[in-house]
Amino acid sequence: MSALPLRSVTPQNSIRDTLQTTLDLQRAAYLADPVPTLAERKADLRQLQRFIRENKAALVQALNADYGNRSEHETLFAEIFPVIDGINHTLSRLKGWMKPQHRGVDWRNFLGARNRVIPQPLGVVGCIVPWNFPINLSFLGLVYIFAAGNRAMVKMSENSRHLAQLLIDKMPAYFPREKLAFFDETGGVGIEFSQLKFDHLLFTGSGQTGRAVMAAAAQNLCPVTLELGGKAPAIVCEDFPVRKAAERLLFVKLFNAGQICTTVDYLFLPKGKTEEFVQEAKRIVAKRYPQLDTPDLTSIIDQRSFERLSAALDDAQARGATLVQLTPGPKWDAATRKIAPHLVLNAPEDCALLQREIFGPILPIIEYSHIDEPIHYINSRPRPLAIYPFSNDTEQVQMLLDRVMSGGVSVNDGLFHVGQHDLPFGGVGESGMGHYHGYEGFVTFSKMRPVFYQASFSSIQYLWPPYGKFATKMLNFLTK
């Protein structure tokens, strides 16, 4: 009998083997201790928090290196603080979340029985994390994964090399590999990762990649939570002050240089108010970002994204759009990958700035004559991850909430619904599926297990065959 051929050892095989070995290790650890106690879960959360606090400066530095220039204040505000605060929020509520829920029983059939819903860990959860807020989007997911009693494997983005190396180097001192493992994207890792037989998979990223991840997970019947992007609009209504809208919108739009999946992607203004908004925007941005090389203005993440954005601006202008540059000096700097904040007026409907998610410091403005126009415009496109209505008229706000569906909403501001620990975060339709954050995050990563406890005496015995007159009378009574 001839010997079996040896399987060739390739980098892809090595990646696959490393991932599968880690998954097997974590699953074995889960099966040995499937339901961690409240004290164990709290200890995991405090350990996560300790890691963030003890490595805060290194985390900020790693993100700055990955971006080329990432505002330190933006990292502290949007990445470090939400994780520390989110852990505190979860620690104070976890005991209540873990309690079995009492559910009602039909006393006519099940007198003396009990119903409970018991939250139990799923097992091993996979997380695929994007580059734009990689600490926030990895660690806040881990907060609810650990709160639910699970173990986790996390795959970082290829644009987060410095951060990924830091996490891979430092995390083993805080968590054993059978509890938490991080992986860098070295080519092909994401594909192999999404094909693993996790008990749940959390993906944050583009819709295109999300489709591929969901298709791969479907081969294992692995449930997924997809947090995707899309074009989130703001709608300034006739009654809302333009200056206040500009002050709030431009903070959100230019935070992280617009590289946020839930930022304001385009803006609807009442007809005749664009010039006022433009003047306010020039005043605001000149004060906040007086020049292109200010450290407060974050760089575009990579050369490909920089070229895409600069080309989109040039194309829109060549086709008749008016570009309003809000920071004096050059439009952009290729060496630092910084792009000056821009408003875009009268952009052609089919241009890239109105057709795809912008992910940059560029805000197209669309004027409307009647509120039905933005409603129709938004509803004729894929459902966005968020909408941002600006109005002091509560009836008008409610009308917009009723008629325009989105993943989430911030009223009279942008983005900040995402920062509420007690609100679920998630998309709808093409902007995603499923939720995490808060109690809904705990539920997402738990099996909310229904358990029926039969009483010592079961009235169902009167319905055992052979069926007689009593069974007939009883069923007639129950089905009246």
CB 313 within 8 A of CB 351: no
Distance of CA 184 to the CA centre of its chain: 20
Element (H, E) at 316: helix 303-318
Burial of 145 (0-12, 13-18, 19+ CB in 10 A): buried
Distance of CA 61 to the CA centre of its chain: 23
Which of 185, 227, 280, 430 is an active site residue?
227
Q: How far is CA 237 from CA 125, 270, 372, 390, 400, in A?
A: 43, 7, 11, 6, 10
Distance CA 370, CA 270 (A): 8
Distance CA 256, CA 99 (A): 39
DSSP letter assigned to residue 35: S
Pairing relation of β-strands 338-339 and 332-333? antiparallel
Q: Which residues contact 159 (CB under 8 A, 6 or more apart)?
A: 66, 131, 301, 302
The answer to whether residue 227 is catalytic is yes
From 59, 78, 64, select the one nearest 336 (Cα to Cα): 64
Which of 127, 222, 261, 351 is an active site residue?
261
Distance CA 101, CA 94 (A): 14
The DSSP bridge partners found for residue 267 are 234, 365
Count other C-beta atoms under 10 Å from residue 4's C-beta: 6
DSSP letter assigned to residue 436: B
The DSSP bridge partners found for residue 344 are 323, 364
Q: Which positions are catalytic? A: 227, 261
